[in-house]
Amino acid sequence: MDPALAVETAFKAKHRNIEEALLRGDSDVAKLYDDATIFITGGSGFLGKQLIEKLIRSCNVRKIYVLLRPKKGKPAQVRLHEILSDPVYDPLKKLYPNFTDKIIPIDGDVRELKMDLSEDDWKTITEEVNVIFHMAATVNFQEDVRTATITNVRGTREMMLLARACRQLKSMVHVSTAYSHATKHRINKAVREDFYEAPIAPEDMITLAENNEIDYLNDILKSRGSDWPNTYTFTKAVAEETVRTMAADLPVCVVRPAIVIGAYREPSPGWVDSNQVLGASGLVLGSILGMIHVIRGDTNNRMDFIPVDVVTNVLVAAGWDTARIHGQSGRQTKIYNVTSNRNHFTMGQLVLTLDTQAREFISPKTVWYGFTNLAKHKFVYIILNWLLHYIPASIVDCALYITGKKLRLLKIYKKINNLGSVLSYFGLNEWLFEDGNTLGLYNSLSTTDKVLFNCDMSLVDNKELIVMWILGLRRYIVKDDLKNTEYGRKKQLLFRIAHYIFMTLYLYLIYKLICFVFSIIGFF
């Protein structure tokens, strides 16, 4: 058996206790969802797909309504069919071949008033739904402030109005981000599981976005949102204020995950979808394929990477907890930070593990020798980026141009540099995310539910997590089926020899070029 496949198989076998816990049928959490009707926004996303799978596999839900907007000419029903073809549902298809009968698409769009729901759909949802998971958001860090506001803030307001109209609502979970208040002035400080003062009142921000030009909105962002690194975190902070002010007596909670990566255990170790290449997984993918050789970050910086299945477990368990405590005296809207606060690892540890484990389980589709440098200082990053990315890419593109082939490498590295710049704020800074509510949630679970819905990051082996991350990227993004790892290792050895030969000649030529330039300057 291939070494990579053997590791994946062995890891799957270690977690049969989850299947055994399911068979016992004594889950307190699952009872909330027994015969329940659920409404989900953001079901087409990475976290949404995993949540749908987990709910059906672990809970006897009656039906799940999924809000989907038409996209690229495809209606909601077609989009749902495409979503359910994702490999995340492969194990579920074996257990429950007809599970798709429980999933019903609803035409709508969180960017529109009343989420663009028809009267019939509005009536159906408000009369039937017991639990809501609101996850829909634009997660593009570079989204313009109007689009981010309409989607993340106004969309949340419309969702809260719908929740208030639901007659049988037992629980609502709003998904935010751990970085909603990880502002510049809180760097190296605590971020509590609590609401913070919003940079602007939600209704004011919505009105501004609806009635003003983008330049004016950018000025507002500079004055009110200068403490936030991007429009995503800024609007998610305002969206939390929307939840706080509109929650009143509703059974609502807020879950704030940090950087979500591939699955640790469920339903398949390492599962990740293609959208993840636009985030941290994209940098890791580029590193293990031998394309990315420098990342902006601090070696000693603590990273908060959270596997998607742990986040899903918190969502499901928090929904149960919210329903359980609703109506208690003095009840407040709870916030759950989902971070690696008590089990963190550093950027340096991540890069070291990648450079060792990635070579051990290397893909046969690597394009060059894999190594990664961390650059804390911007000047060092720029120099290394040019030396290791842009100049070699330009040389390759010149060769492609001469041979009449399409130029593409320089364009790829521009995208990589853009991604790295966006993520550098998180790679260079750290915060102490308090997670007492999340730990308390785990401790309140029964013995069975602690297995089914583990939400304690201290129980995650970080080295195993990174290995599963690497194997998941190979299986689901590179799509090499975890085969020919030995060939990949031999290929990597040849690449290593070629790399050192190339770098010796390359640096010598740069040295000679610098000497020539200085001689010309001296001549004049």
Answer positive or negative: Cα dihedral of 367, 369, 374, 379: negative
Instruction: Tell me what pLDDT residue 74 has.
Output: 82
Q: First CA to last CA across the chain, in angstroms?
A: 67
The CA–CA distances, whole Å, from 221 to 92, 145, 180, 199 equal 44, 8, 15, 9
> CA 173, CA 178: separation in Å to the nearest integer?
15
For residue 135, count other CB atoms closer than 10 A to its CB. Answer: 22
- Preceding omega of 199 cis (within 30 degrees of 0): no
Q: What is the DSSP string of 70-111?
A: -BTTB-HHHHHHHHTTSGGGHHHHHH-TTGGGGEEEEE--TT
Summarize the confidence of residues 236-259 as an average pLDDT.
95
* DSSP string computed for 430-441: --EE--HHHHHH
Q: Which residue is associated with the tokens 């507002």?
A: 220
Q: How far is CA 163 from the centre of its chain?
A: 25
Report pLDDT digits (tens) over 349-365: 888 888 888 888 999 99
Contact 77, 105 (CB under 8 A): yes
Q: CB of 264 within 8 A of CB of 461?
A: no
Q: What is the DSSP letter of 290?
A: T
Distance CA 210, CA 499 (A): 54
Phi, then psi, of 129 in degrees rounded to 5: -70, 135
Residues 6+ apart with CB under 8 A from 91: 57, 267, 268
CA-based nearest residue to 102, from 122, 84, 118, 85: 84
Q: Give residue limits of the domains in the chain.
A: 3-276+303-344+430-478, 349-425+488-523
Convert the pLDDT of each residue in 477-496 to its tens digit: 999 999 999 999 999 999 99
Closest CA to 355 of 279, 409, 294, 282: 294
Distance CA 387, CA 371 (A): 14
Reduced to 3 states, what is the DSSP secondary structure of residue 160? helix
Q: Which amino acid is at 148?
A: A
Instruction: Please tell me the predicted confidence (pLDDT) of residue 523.
Output: 54
Q: What is the CATH number of domain 3-276+303-344+430-478?
A: 3.40.50.720
Task: Kindly state the helix (H) or strand (E) to which residue 58 belongs, with its residue range.
Answer: helix 46-58
pLDDT in tens, 267-292: 999 999 988 888 889 999 999 999 99
Map 489-501 to HEC letters.
HHHHHHHHHHHHH
Distance in angstroms (rounded) separating the CA atoms of residues 335 and 192: 9
Three-state secondary structure readout of 306-375: EEHHHHHHHHHHHHHHHHHHCCCCCCCCEEEEECCCCCCEEHHHHHHHHHHHHHHCCCCCCCCCCCCEEE
User: Vertex 83, ends 77 and 89: CA angle to 5°?
Assistant: 125
Q: What percent of the chain has pLDDT over 90?
A: 70
Residues 6+ apart with CB under 8 A from 70: 76, 79, 107
Read off the pLDDT of residues 318-346 as tens digits, 9 standing for 90 and up: 999 999 988 675 568 999 999 988 888 88
pLDDT digits 0-9 by tens, 102-156: 999 999 999 999 999 999 999 999 999 999 999 999 988 889 999 999 999 999 9
